[in-house]
Amino acid sequence: MQTFTLEQVAQHTTTGSCWVLIQNKVYDVTDFLFDHPGGPNVILKYGGKDATAAYIPIHPSDALDKNLAPERHLGTLDDESINRLKESENNKVQTKDELRVEEALKNKPPLQRIVNVEDMEEVAKKILSYRAMAYYSSAGDDSITHVENGRAFGRFFFHPRVMKPVSQCDTSTTILGFKSTIPVYISGAALARLGHPLGEANFTRGAYKTGIIQMVSTNSSLSYAEISAARVSPDQPLFFQLYKHVSDATAEKRVRDIEGLGYKAIFLTVDALVPGNRELDIRVPHYLEDLENQGLPTQRKPDEDEGETDRLGTAGGLVIKNDADMTWEKTIPWIRSITKLPIVIKGIQCVQDAVLACEAGCEGIVLSNHGGRQLEYSLPPIELLYRIRQQRPDVFEKTEVYIDGGIRRGTDVVKALCLGARAVGLGRAFLYAQSAYGEAGVVHVARILEREIRFGMQSLGVRSISELVPQMVERVDWQPVTRAKL
């Protein structure tokens, strides 16, 4: 294999010839510059340099093989250059954000002090890098939809039944026929390695230990094969959240790949076809630059082109190649033609589309507004669930219905099940958990939810999920006080 010096690599920094270093290997990325979802500038910034630290947390291990021809894998650095890079890394001055994270990790509370989902979020936001925190927590526009997703659960109150035998309470259910210890699944969440080096594998192993199901995002930071290999048992089910690529050929290969790896269902995401306006995420480069400069003049030229990634944020760069022309008449039959896997539509936001999904024969629907990350003022999923129950109760007989967004408590889960949901998905909660405590954090959150769900069921006077019925909840027209933090 050919070797190169740092000086040789440093000569290739333009759109005419751009090389980068990743884990001491040299790649010619010239032909890929304008195919990169975030635009060429995000790569050119690292032209002729070591891009390892920026690349590894947000790209699966097979990304280079999939996107670069073999002849563009040029070779490796020579031994002297590798040693110089190591020395440079050892002498690197930590950024202010890195120093903040280091201090926060020293003061991180022991896991047993985390008693609810919001506790976990608070700890994670302190120990995450600013970039990771902004990506995980960002929401659309003014975050109104994100906030209302949670507040909406407060408009539903219980009608508990008493004098019922509830000592034997079973929280288990099935999702698309697969057993789950609780009516909760890990929703598809991208870039878990931004928060923890083991990334999505923490979800996989934590899900196995607690008997719940993981949905894997198209934009995972581990490859689909790596996540599949992380399963403790080959029988452990995995679902796949599909962002359909604008190229049918690319989308088909992706579906066939995950089916071959043993994934059990496709959750087709339909509520994030174009980049959302997630301003916290978009501002990250400017915030970090200002943090380091502390009021000194910026090095960025006033008229310098920011590039697509700076304008769209990390999240925007992930969806820019999505198919924005999907239809009920075309897309569902096309997916049926290439796979036998069940199809669930993730991102239903109105009653009419819930009905159309049933008519299209979809095995399930997820009522979701992408966690409030996309269209501001989309209806909270629990409110939509209520409207479907009122207007089209037949939907629940024709397909399995799930919701995600705003769920913080076991009582939130129980309310959704009373109204007809089969299960609920949580994404951010598990992202925060694995970021703060790895696999153990995932297990801890699942067990918190199991305890709270069991308590809610027993307090309502039921012993099984099937006994939860619409008559047990009532929607009120007033908004209760905001949840108190004790």
- Nearest CA to 114 out of 443, 464, 481, 480 is that of 443
The phi and psi torsions of 367 (rounded to 5 degrees) equal -80, 115
Catalytic residue (one of 135, 136, 243, 437)? 243
Give yes or no: 243 in active site.
yes
- Provide the token pair at 26: 């040299």
Residue-wise DSSP of 183-227: SEEE---S-GGGT-TTTHHHHHHHHHHHT-EEEEETT-SS-HHHH
Strand runs (DSSP E) across 413-485, as ranges? 423-426, 473-475
Euclidean distance between CA atoms 230 and 228, whole angstroms: 5
The phi and psi torsions of 3 (rounded to 5 degrees) equal -115, 155
In the chain, % helix, strand, coil (3-state, to 5) comes to: 45, 15, 40
- Nearest CA to 241 out of 32, 427, 440, 15 is that of 427
Give yes or no: 370 in active site.
yes
Euclidean distance between CA atoms 382 and 413, whole angstroms: 10
Catalytic residue (one of 50, 119, 271, 310)? 271
- Provide the token pair at 321: 């190649």
Q: What's the distance, CA 175 to chain centroid?
A: 19
Euclidean distance between CA atoms 43 and 34, whole angstroms: 10
The phi and psi torsions of 264 (rounded to 5 degrees) equal -105, -10
Instruction: Decide: residue 111, CB within 10 A, 0-12 exposed, 13-18 middle, 19+ buried.
Output: middle
Euclidean distance between CA atoms 347 and 313, whole angstroms: 21
Residues 217, 218, 220, CA angle at the centre, nearest 5°? 60
Catalytic residue (one of 370, 404, 432, 444)? 370
- Please, which contacts does 281-285 make with residues 24 or more away whose CB atoms are closer than 8 Å? 281/134, 281/135, 281/138, 281/313, 281/314, 281/315, 281/316, 282/310, 282/311, 282/312, 282/313, 282/316, 283/134, 284/130, 284/131, 284/134, 284/135, 284/313, 284/314, 285/310
Active site residues: 243, 271, 370
